[in-house]
Amino acid sequence: MKLAFSAGLARRRSIFVTAMALAWASFSALLLSVDPALALASAAAPIGMFVIIRYSLARLMASVVGGMLVLGSSTDLSSGKLIYAGLLSVSVSVAAVRLFRDPPDYLHYFRPALPWGTLLVAVVIIGFLASPMNADFTTFARQSIFYLMLVVGPIIALDTGRDITPRLAYALVGVIGTVAAVGFAIDWLSRRGVTALSADRIVVSSLLLPALAFALAVILVSHSTAWSRVAWLTPTVIIPLSMLITGTRTNLVIFGALLAVVGRKSSSRVGTGRLAVTVLVAGGLFLAAFPAIASVALNSPEFIEGRLRSAISVLAGQGQADQSFVMRAEQYSQGVALFSLSPVLGLGLGYFVPIILDSPLMTLVRLGWLGTLVLLAYFVALCRAVWISARSVTPSPAHTAWWGLVVVGLLSLPFGTPFEDRGLGFAVILALTGVASCLNAAQASAKAPQMFGATSRNKP
């Protein structure tokens, strides 16, 4: 009877699935007369959803690459952003269920961050609802997704880390970080009106995402074999070249990542001698490539010279001669005035600040001191998890790259809050994916001899 019931249930399920597939195909066919592109997207949606639900790497790529492509625009909620929000929700939900049902061994290191992440989401929502400036929901949705990414992103990362090798995780960081650096250059040269390229913004503009890839690349140049060393030398040249060709002097802080990677090789860091050789080789390639790249990317040869003269005048104590320096000084006083309007919960995400505020005060203006403290506590919990996991299991290049990201973020504070960097959430996802992958590989290799020994002792 049970077999007959199971067979009947299987038949009904197959009939239901077939009917749904035919209905979906008919709906997609009807859309052909309206919009062929929309019809193609509709037809491919079930396949894409199956792949995202089935494979953790697909969830990671949809969350990071998809977000980098659709969240670069500052316009209102587009259909692409809504679709991405749906894919992100599905990815986080599937990853959370997997982590709950089958938690990896390394998950307990990161559990203390969960209450702070939950509290951060609550504070963000309460700040929006209690905003004294009548915050707009559309603006809230656009702004809050970058903060929410900091909370939900690690869920996807910790789930994906057990399914991919450290080598693949490193490759993802290197490629995506390099693309982000090139995208930053294209965006900023276009903003300044000095680009000779026809392209405009292609991905989110970020300092911290390329900084993560740069830190990891410097480490792996030293730790890799011959051919891999050549491959990792590429982002150590391309990333600084892309960031500095924009003339944005703030990007010099990317070299602060070197402070985090120098140390003993046993701690997955780079010795002083090897680091000096890497810097010399990469610097030589940088100097050789910079004039050629500048001649192709810039339509004004005097642009870089003018930015250098301004930087020298600031270093010489003549800050009043530099317009950017003067504007940044004025923004501090404006930020204090805005913060005083609502110091506890801030003006709320969803309120469009009417001025440019390249200041660390922006986080206080948006979240107030309460939200800022919760946000800092959450990040401290993540840093603590990375630190303890490295000491308890083994340090890895991914752990060291995380600290490179943190150092660059701290050094960028005088020029703006790192929490407003649109690539921070993606950098956190990729960094923690690498950390989780390395922890999973180390714990699996540690278990293997024990399992082999137990099997040997049980042999007759």
Q: Is there a domain that residue 19 lies in?
A: no
**CB under 8 A, 24+ apart: contacts of 49-55:** 49/90, 52/87, 52/90, 52/91, 52/94, 53/90, 53/94, 55/163
Asked if residue 343 lies in contact with residue 334, where contact means CB atoms within 8 angstroms, the answer is no
- Which amino acid, 184? F
Q: What is the pLDDT of residue 448?
A: 64
Whether 32 maps to a domain, the answer reads no
What pLDDT score was predicted for residue 34?
A: 56
β partners of residue 298 = 195
CB of 180 closer than 8 Å to CB of 362: no
Alpha helix locations (H) across 161-271? Answer: 166-192, 208-223, 226-244, 257-261
Residue 390's pLDDT is: 94
User: Is there a domain that residue 105 lies in?
Assistant: yes
Spatial neighbors of 415 by CB under 8 A, at least 6 apart, are 250, 253, 328, 358
Distances in whole angstroms, Cα of residue 269 to Cα of each of 263, 286, 440: 5, 23, 20
**pLDDT (0 to 100) of residue 25:** 53
CA torsion sign for 45, 433, 163, 108 is: negative
Q: What is the DSSP code (8-state) at residue 423?
A: T
User: What domain count does the chain have?
Assistant: 1
Q: What is the mean pLDDT of each run of 10 residues along the chain (460 residues)?
A: 50 58 55 56 70 92 91 70 88 95 95 95 93 84 90 97 96 96 85 67 87 96 85 94 83 92 90 93 91 78 65 51 64 83 90 79 92 96 96 93 96 89 95 97 76 39
3-state secondary structure of 195: strand
Integer CA distances (angstroms), 448 to 108, 177, 299, 358, 445, in order: 21, 34, 59, 51, 5
Give pLDDT, residue 454. 43
**8 Å CB contact between 442 and 384:** no
Residue 374 in any domain: the answer is yes
List the domain range (segments joined by +) for residue 296: 45-72+81-442
155 inside domain: yes
pLDDT of residue 149: 93
In a domain, 8, yes or no: no
Is residue 17 in some structural domain? no
Position 270 scores a pLDDT of 93
Residue 458 falls inside a structural domain = no
Q: What is the pLDDT, as a whole number, of residue 26?
A: 58
